[in-house]
Amino acid sequence: MSPSRVESEVPVAVVTGGSRGIGAECARVLHADGMRVVIADVLEGKGQALADELGAGAVFNHLDVADESSWKKLVRGVISTLGAVDILVNNAGVANMSSVEDFTIAKWNAVLSVNLTGAFLGCRAVVPGMKQRGSGSIVNISSVDGMRGSPGVHAYTASKWGVRGLTKSLAVELGPHGIRVNSVHPGYVPTRMTSRMDPDRLDIPLGRGGTATEVAATVAFLASEASSFTTGAEFVVDGGMIAGIPRR
């Protein structure tokens, strides 16, 4: 049975890669803002633990973002139980590193399938319902590497530029339907993915790395009506990392 109209007025946000890192903090912040949150991930133990931590209004759903059928199952289930997907945060991402000569097609496809194809499949899956309601907000997590080049992380860089471009084309196409699409570009944030990076070598003007909470605050703004006239835009959360020529 579908939720009542009163229940469905509480926004429902799906956060991919929501079990840990930036995704988990997005789930926490959106939940604290009063939204119902679906933590979508392949990491079932961590995802369920976070849902239990957040309590009422938070659920975990298994999702492989690179699998079309997995997206269909997730969206059907969320609409059936919660009534709608009002906000989609495409956060799930992976990275690998190699010189271009040694960058195998397997490495390339492993990153593109999650970071770019996964974001595309997510957008495509939620758009019909958003069109029907005449509203929605999609927040695609790109990176500062979606605005510059970085040696060795070729697939990651290409995928994050692709997410940036996908955001633009969707914003133009979906704007007339009341659906907003924006991208967020984090700089260095200490997470499992960035554990091998040395922040002292990054020359960040603000003098420190960011926090997942700072990124999540930007996501929460874009998910809310406070950003109602904002679409197709890039929000850089990097402490000034790419604002100018490095001093070192």
Q: Give the per-residue pLDDT at 198.
A: 66
Are the C-beta atoms of residues 173 and 222 closer than 8 Å to each other?
Answer: no
- The total of other beta-carbon atoms located within 10 Å of residue 225's CB is 9
Tell me, yes or no, if 156 is annotated catalytic.
Answer: yes
H/E element, 36: strand 36-41
| Cα 156 to Cα 205: distance, rounded to the nearest angstrom | 24
Mean pLDDT in residue range 50-71 = 98
- The total of other beta-carbon atoms located within 10 Å of residue 189's CB is 23
| Cα 169 to Cα 162: distance, rounded to the nearest angstrom | 11
Active-site option among 60, 71, 120, 156: 156
Span 91-133, pLDDT tens digits = 999 999 999 999 999 999 999 999 999 999 999 999 999 999 9
Is the pLDDT assigned to residue 176 strictly greater than 50? yes
Span 25-37, pLDDT tens digits = 999 999 999 999 9
Contacts of 138 (CB under 8 A, 6+ apart): 87, 88, 90, 123, 126, 167, 170, 174, 179, 180, 181, 182
Please give the single-letter amino acid code of residue 63. Answer: L
The domain made up of 12-237 is a member of CATH 3.40.50.720: yes
Which of 50-54, 56-60, 149-153, 196-200 is predicted with the least confidence, judged by mean pLDDT? 196-200
Look at residue 234 and give its three-state secondary structure.
Answer: strand
